[in-house]
Amino acid sequence: MASSDFDGILLGMGNPLLDVSAVVDQEFLNKYDIQLNNAILAEDKHLPMYDEMSQKFTVEYIAGGATQNSIKVAQWMLQIPGATSYMGSIGKDKYGEAMKKDATAAGVNVHYCEDESTPTGTCGVCVLGGERSLIANLSAANCYKVEHLKKPENWALVEKAKFYYIAGFFLTVSPESIQLVREHAAANNKVFTMNLSAPFICEFFKDVQEKCLPYMDYIFGNETEARTFSRVHGWETDDVEQIAIKMSQLPKATGTYKRTTVITQGADPVVVAEDGKVKKYPVIPLPKEKLVDTNGAGDAFVGGFLSQLVHGKGIEECVRAGCYASNVVIQRSGCTYPEKPDFN
């Protein structure tokens, strides 16, 4: 394929958030009732947390948001300017400007919806022993409206793309936007992919998630999310391989593509289910002392995976690229990476 064939080939939609990241202590986690390896939406009790983090700990500000991370990593792996696009809502403020600058520098074609009255969303990233917990204060990210998507210059990104990726987190913001994109993908034989994203999405946004399931050609998630999904659907199994198979066999809206389920399990092998069969792929081993934090590890895996999927590569290569990208990201703070990938 010529590089022009990759123009806008991959589109992401999600919640652009500025990560407020710090290594914290157990006392802080207990105070705010935070569990590691989890992701939640901030409640009132969490709101003082962000200031306290910056007073007590060394805080880094990193452009984040699950889908945006994945799209940036895919862009980095592809090294073809403008191969990826992204939409979401930010505030008209310095954080929003910083985010725009960061994403554009990464080579992503961003079309943000800018909210005049609400600040750019933030995500508290609490790190302890390399594990992360995410507490998202969506703010402007929660204000994305389907009207923005329908504007000709934005819908053009949907028309141009051949692959779509939307994290489950966006289900809490604009299910109408997701519906338009998934229906376009189905009608035009394009590839629609989503992520389970967090246990609370599987549990409390089950109905909107279920409406998307028939359209998902690829479902990503981690072992905790997969087990929550199984429990919520009354499957009565904790076996990740069985869950992955069952998910891949749920009804599909179109028969163009069979569904593939891809479940990561931290340091344990990646589980891939398609055609009623499971394959496991080992991740790249990393000595504990090289682990900085797992923030963005799953996002980076998806980004690496998608970078090869848009090239038409097979599942093994896609997983290999996903494992490579997440291995790079967990050795750095947040979802960041060196200037060029070293992936062949």
CA-wise closest residue to 202 among 179, 174, 177, 168 = 168
CA-wise closest residue to 168 among 127, 199, 141 = 199
pLDDT score of 62: 87
Interatomic CA distance for residues 256 and 236, integer angstroms: 30
Tokens of 310: 């848009």
pLDDT score of 333: 85
Going by the DSSP 8-state scheme, the letter that residue 121 receives in this structure is: P
Note the pTM of the prediction, 2 decimals.
0.95
pLDDT score of 67: 98
130, 110 Cβ separation under 8 angstroms: no
pLDDT band at 344 (very low <50, low <70, confident <90, very high): confident
User: What confidence tens digit (pLDDT) does each residue in 216-246 have?
Assistant: 999 999 999 999 999 999 999 999 999 999 9
Interatomic CA distance for residues 21 and 132, integer angstroms: 9
Residues 154-158: contacts with CB under 8 Å, at least 24 apart? 154/87, 154/111, 157/8, 157/11, 157/85, 157/87, 157/109, 157/111, 158/11, 158/184
Q: Which residues are catalytic?
A: 299
Interatomic CA distance for residues 160 and 155, integer angstroms: 9
167, 14 Cβ separation under 8 angstroms: yes
pLDDT score of 4: 82
Which value, to the nearest 10 degrees, does the dihedral of the CA atoms of residues 39, 9, 219, 256 take? 160
- For residue 21, give the amino acid letter: S
Whole-number percent of the chain with pLDDT over 90: 90
DSSP string, 7-50: TT-EEEE---EEEEEEE--HHHHHHTT--TTEEEE--GGGTTHH
Residue ranges of domains in the chain: 3-16+65-119+139-330
Tokens of 318: 């896609």
Interatomic CA distance for residues 15 and 322, integer angstroms: 22
180, 149 Cβ separation under 8 angstroms: yes
pLDDT value at 137 more than 80? yes
Q: How far is CA 137 from CA 90, 110, 151, 310, 316, in A?
A: 12, 21, 27, 32, 36
Number of H helices, E strands in the chain: 13, 14
User: What confidence tens digit (pLDDT) does each residue in 293-335 have?
Assistant: 888 999 999 999 999 999 999 999 999 999 999 999 999 988 8
CATH superfamily of 3-16+65-119+139-330: Ribokinase (3.40.1190.20)
**Would you give the distance in Å from CA 18 to the centre of its chain?**
14
